[in-house]
Amino acid sequence: MQQEKEKQRAWNFAIIIIVLILILAQSFSIYLIYKTSTESLKKISNLGNKTAEDISLLNKDFQSKVNTLADSINALTSSQDALKKQISEVKAQTSADFSGIIEQEIKGVVSIKTDVAQGTGFIIASNGYVVTNAHVLSGASFANVYTYENKRYGADLIGYDLDMDIALLKIQGSFSRLDLGDSDDVKAGEKVIAIGNPLGLSFTATEGIISARDRKGTNNLPYYFQTDVSLNPGNSGGPLISTKGEVIGINNFKISGAENIGFALESNYLRQTINEIAATELNQTLV
């Protein structure tokens, strides 16, 4: 009997040992599986991160190349525009061929029509500021501005200077503008053109030279170019343009009964007057 009990204990002990061995084996297997899975997940995660980094680097490289290409296209376009402008200047200076200058600048010239008169003006800021002679607006109750594309815009009067005969208008939109040159650099004998609205013939270009500079105007101030460019009623307020395509004066008046003796306010005094009006009415400078 005692022997059977001892034998039973031995079997129980053996079974416990076997169970413990199985538990340890199972635990070790689970540990190996966990470790292998963790390492695999880590590798997958590292691979995913590396792939994401590679994709990010590829995107950055691609974007950089796109930006470089865009910059090259913009630079090429700017170079072409600059070259076209230089060719136009050379043609105007050497052969009196103003076709290139006119093509570029006429888009910034406007016709001004009121209920009592008509004249010319030009855009000095791309957001729609227009300059003309103040006498073009004298006695008017409204003014409309017509662009080269024959689009009509109602104009608001910002301000004016009667002594200098300059008025500043505003139309709504985005436009081609004309640049003011340095009238101090202009010499007698230089070729110029006027673009205006003589006798209602919109956007007419006439050619001539600077006959003299620093002439006195009707205000008795020596701020005017004398020019032999043909000026007629309707040309008032239009630009006098150099062979560089810059506005060097605003056509103002002519001597009645005389042939081809016109006067234009020099651009440096025009700039000063425009900025004085803008500073007073808008608290800013424009040109």
The span from the CA of 124 to the CA of 287, in Å, is 7
Please tell me the distance from the alpha carbon of residue 275 to that of residue 100, in angstroms, as a whole number: 30
Please, which residues have CB within 8 angstroms of residue 274's CB and are 6 or more apart in sequence? 124, 131, 166, 168, 286, 287
**Rounded Cα–Cα distance for residues 115 and 103 (Å):** 30
Here the tokens at position 51 are: 């792939």
Place of tokens 């009645």: 256
Q: Which of 88, 111, 135, 202 is catalytic?
A: 135
Instruction: Provide the sign of the torsion angle of the four alpha carbons 185, 203, 109, 215, taken in this order.
Output: positive
Catalytic residue among 165, 183, 242, 267: 165
Paired residues of 240 in beta bridges: 194, 249
Name residues whose C-beta falls within 8 Å of residue 239's C-beta, 6 or more positions apart in sequence: 105, 108, 109, 122, 178, 194, 195, 247, 249, 250, 251
Q: Which residue has the tokens 């005969």?
A: 165
Which residue shows structure tokens 């002990």?
Answer: 13
Helix/strand/coil percent split, the chain, to 5:
45, 25, 30
- 110, 250 Cβ separation under 8 angstroms: no
Q: Could you list the beta-strand ranges (E) of 127-171.
A: 129-133, 143-146, 152-154, 156-161, 166-170
Catalytic site residue 135?
A: yes
Residue among 111, 183, 236, 267 flagged as catalytic: 236
Query: Which positions are annotated as active-site residues?
Result: 135, 165, 236
